[in-house]
Structure formats: C-alpha cells, structure tokens
Amino acid sequence: MELKTILGYLQEKTILVTGATGFLAMVFLEKILRVQPDVKKVYLLLRAPDTNSANDQMHNEIIGKALFKVLREKLGADFDSFISEKVVAVPGDVTSENLGVQDFKLREEMFTEIQIILNSAATTNFDERYDIALDVNTFGVLHVLSFAMKCILLEMLLHVSTAYVCGEREGLIPEDSSSFMDEKAKGTTKFNFQVREKKVVEKKLNELKARGASEENIRSTMKDFGIERAKLYGWPNTYVFTKAMGEIFLENSRENLPLVIIRPTVVTSTYKEPFPGWIQGFRTIDSVIAAYCKGKLTCLLVDPMSVFDMVSSKSINLLMPPNTTYNYIYIPVDMVVNSIISAMVVNANQSSIVIYHVGSSFGNPIQFCDIHNFVFRHFTKSPWVNKDGNAVKVGKCTMFRTMASFRMYMQICFMIPLQGLKFVSKASGGYFQDMYVNNSRKLTLVMRLVELYKPYMLFKGIFDDNNSEELQKLTSECYIDAKEFNFDPKCIDWEDYFMNTHIPGLRKHVMVQ
C-alpha cells in the first residue's frame, strides 16, 4: 500500500475558519501556514463591520501575536506578502444567515472554493446570557451547517465542541453520538428547539423590556435564565447546554455532509509547536496559578485525588478579581490542533459523523494534588515578585472535598465576620459601610461562582478516547508524516510540562501583562 501524506492532502486546499480570534483557531492557522505554505487560501471569519476593520482585527489580534514569530522569522521580508496572498479576513458573524457575509461576490467565491470548514466559534462563559449563548453555540451551528451545504466542493466540516456536553455523567464517558443527550434531555427532542427556545427567549426579553428593566438587570436576568433552562433539562450550566443542543442540531440536520466533532477537554499552552509554552490569556487552571503565586488564593473546593482532564472552576478567594475564570482542563493546544488536522484528512469526503474526545484523563491521567505540588515547588524556587519588589512566599492550599465543608469554612471565616462588620458599621454611624458593602458583594459573587462551577470542581468522569486512539493508529499506518501531527497525551511528562513549559509560559506571555 502506497503511503500518503497529511501535508499532501492540505496542498492547494481552501479553508474557512470561524471563531478566528480564538486560541484554538489561531494555533490552527499558524500550523497550517507554517507546515504547508502551499495551502491555497484560508478565510478567517471575523466579527467586524467591514473589510477594513476585519483586516485590522486580523493583523492586530491574530497575525501580530508572538505565536507567529517562528513563521515570521522563517519567511523574513516575505512574511507580509505571504499572509496577504494566503489569508483573507472576512467580516461576518455566525449568528447571521450566510454567516453575515454581505459582499455577494465574496460570498459566491467562498461557496465555489471552500473545501474545509473549521467551526470553532463559541462563547465559553458558563453563565453567558441565554440569548447570546443560544445565538452563538446553538443557532450559530445551524448557520455554519447551512453555509457548508452551499459549498459545492466541501470535503469536511469539523465542529469544535466540548467534552463536557456530557453534563454531570460519572465513570467512563464514551465518544458516542448525541443520542445520549437526547435521552438525557427527555422531552427536549420532542419539540423544535429552533422554534421553542427562540420563543422562550423572546418572551423573556419582551417581559423585561415591558417592565422598563435596565440593561444591567436584563443582563443578569438572562444569565440566570440560561442556568434555569439548562438545569431544567439536566445540564449544569448554559455553556454545555447550548453546546449540546448545537451537536444535536448537527447530527439531525447534516444529511450526508462529512462531519467530525472534536470534543476537547479544555485547552492549555503549547506543548511543542510552534514553540513550548505559548498561551493567550488566563486559561484552564492558570487563573488559580496566578492567584496562588501572588498569595491571594489559600483554599479551593476540589477533591485533591480527582483525575484532572481537568475540570473547570472559579476561585473561592475573596481577593480575586470578580470576572476571573478558572477552567481546569489539560490537553496542550498544539495537540488539539494536530488531532483536528488528522481528523480532517482521514475523514474527508466520508458521508459519516465521527466524534473524538481529545484529552488526557484516560491515557495519561493526573491528579490535582500533583498539579498543586508542581505549582508549589515552582513558586517556592522562583517566587513571584510583587509590585513593591518583594518576593511572595507561597504555602500549601487548603482543599475542601465537599460543598458542605466549604460552606462551613466560608461561614466561619467570612460570613460571621461580615455580620460583625455590619453591626460595627451601624454602631459607628455607617463609618464602615463601604467596606461592608464591598466585602458583601465579593462574598455573594464567590458563592455564586462556586455553585456554578461545583460540578466541575468535583467532576467524577473519565473521557474514553477510543476513537482518538484509532485515529492515531490509522494516521501512523497510512501517512508518512503522521509524527508531525502527534496528539498522543501519553507522551506528556506532566511534571516537566508544568515546571518547565506551562508555568514559565504563563509568566512570560500572560502574567507579566
């Protein structure tokens, strides 16, 4: 049997990428351009009002990143002309018909040229406004699917989902279709979500507007409404519920379109490519690490013996910024990108649907207590220096295995003292009122976030990756260059990765900013 090449398949291909400013999409773009410069064209869908704005956004938020320094050094003076030749910034939006591409000529060009679509557009906030989450994560998928069906040369639609569409399942979670979600949701598949949920959202928004609700009130109400709808059908939060519905739509509406669904756990810094440790923004456990090394995090609601793929949580420390997200999940982003490219190549032109879990909990598990140990050792050896020039001394975090023990801790350490502060403030004629209000607001926020992220702090599932194993086997047997697209988590030495790659990368690319 004559062996093929993955790079050979990508040659002269035209690709559309949605969610182009996202972490995963940027690493995908960089990899394609670096390893296969003979790709024909890559369209990047960007939320911008016009072409000039889209081009500015592409150069400022994507191409200008340090991520592209290897490619920039490789091409030298030809870098800008290469980007102009290969990459097209397209103003649009997945929440609109035809992906919001207004230019008729450009749209028809895309319909006749595109062979591969990577849909990575999503809002990942666990408590996003329900109307926004639906528009992007659910109905946005339908718009992408509709667009894909108009692409006459289409060979592959790859949709990036999340492993946590499983909800709060325990034990070994298979790479099955969304049929289990249909069953889990019970009555949800008996009606048309596209009609029902739109009507529910419109009714709620109309009620709020009729009452003259402020924008802030509408925002908070719609966030709560999303959680309410998710829990009604058996999911813990708005994000995974809307992503699950997106998968259901894809499976039920794709007809014979070649479809791959990649379900990563949560993605973190690069393992090797284009260089180790690159990361954009606080991701996964990184906000926990940042708070910990600055002495602001002393306790967590987490089972230290849990296998982390990882999970998602929020800080439970009152001193953390109110909008800081903690998504514990570990699979390096370059490995996810390699799995995406491999899946595209292997499944191209197949009128089937294949789902892949891309994570490490099954093949190379790591426990939270090990992560904590790595972080403690790193910042003990190389402490964070605060703005006053003083090295911050770190200690071991207190970990609470149950919500009951955490609530008791919060009651003793924060709630009772807060009530004391309230009493003192009243006795002093309101002298401490501002301090009381500020601390009360923080405490309310912390408890909300802990309730929201509790299912992930104490997650008991392990993600089966049998399909991903088969994909690795198939690529290694059939493609000469399979090693260039490695995504086997078993090769990761977690201690080395944390100590010498991830934490140094976090300090260099994010924390210093």
CATH number at residue 343: 3.40.50.720
Residue with tokens 């050979």: 8
Residue with tokens 């904590």: 372
Question: Do residues 320 and 420 lie in contact, with contact meaning Cβ atoms separated by under 8 Å?
Answer: no
Question: Do residues 39 and 33 lie in contact, with contact meaning Cβ atoms separated by under 8 Å?
Answer: yes
pLDDT for the residue numbered 425 = 87
216/223 Cα distance (integer angstroms): 11
Between 443 and 155, where is the model more confident?
Answer: 155
264/359 Cα distance (integer angstroms): 6
The tens digit of pLDDT for each residue in 34-76 reads 999 999 999 999 999 999 999 999 999 999 999 999 999 999 9
Does 48 map to a domain? yes
The one-character DSSP state at 480 is T
- Please spell the DSSP secondary structure of 302-326, one letter per residue: --TT-EES--EE----TTS-TT--E
Buried b (16+ CB within 10 A) or exposed e, 209-231: eeeeeeeeebeebbbebbbebbe
Which residues have C-beta within 8 Å of that of residue 210, sequence separation ≥ 6?
none
Whether residue 1 is predicted with pLDDT greater than 60 in this model: the reply is no
Does 287 map to a domain? no
Q: pLDDT band at 206, cuts 50/70/90? A: very high
The pTM for the full model equals 0.89
CA 406 to chain centre: 27
Which of these, 243, 258, 44, 245, lies nearest to 151 by C-alpha position?
A: 258
Q: Residue 437 belongs to what H/E stretch? A: helix 433-457
Query: Residue 234 region, left (φ>0) first, then alpha (ψ -120 to 50), else beta?
Result: left
Please, what is the end-to-end C-alpha distance for the chain in angstroms? 52
Q: pLDDT band at 327, cuts 50/70/90? A: very low
Question: Do residues 367 and 307 lie in contact, with contact meaning Cβ atoms separated by under 8 Å?
Answer: yes
> Within 13 Å of residue 169, how many CA atoms lie on the same side as its CB?
19
330/497 Cα distance (integer angstroms): 11
34/340 Cα distance (integer angstroms): 16
Does 393 map to a domain? no
Question: Do residues 102 and 140 lie in contact, with contact meaning Cβ atoms separated by under 8 Å?
Answer: no
Q: Mean pLDDT throughout 169-190?
A: 64
Q: Considering just the CA atoms, what is the radius of gyration of the chain in Å?
A: 24
Does 455 map to a domain? no
Does 505 map to a domain? no
β-pair type (331-332, 267-268): parallel
Q: Mean pLDDT throughout 128-148?
A: 96
Q: Which two tokens stand for residue 92?
A: 């649009």
Q: Mean pLDDT throughout 436-451?
A: 84
Note down the domain range covering 136: 6-281+327-366+461-498
Q: pLDDT band at 283, cuts 50/70/90? A: low
The tens digit of pLDDT for each residue in 371-391 reads 889 999 999 999 999 888 899
User: What total of structural domains would you count in the chain?
Assistant: 1
pLDDT for the residue numbered 314 = 33
Question: Do residues 336 and 262 lie in contact, with contact meaning Cβ atoms separated by under 8 Å?
Answer: yes
When the pLDDT of each residue in the chain is averaged and rounded to a whole number, the result is 88
Question: Do residues 284 and 328 lie in contact, with contact meaning Cβ atoms separated by under 8 Å?
Answer: yes
Question: Do residues 128 and 223 lie in contact, with contact meaning Cβ atoms separated by under 8 Å?
Answer: yes
The tens digit of pLDDT for each residue in 411-431 reads 898 899 999 998 898 888 888
β-pair type (366-367, 307-308): antiparallel
Query: Residue 349 region, left (φ>0) first, then alpha (ψ -120 to 50), else beta?
Result: left
**Which residues belong to the active site?**
239, 243
Strand partners, 116: 15, 156
Does 59 map to a domain? yes
Q: Is 358 helix (H, G, I), strand (E, B) or coil?
A: strand
pLDDT for the residue numbered 298 = 81
Does 468 map to a domain? yes
Question: Do residues 91 and 46 lie in contact, with contact meaning Cβ atoms separated by under 8 Å?
Answer: yes
Does 396 map to a domain? no
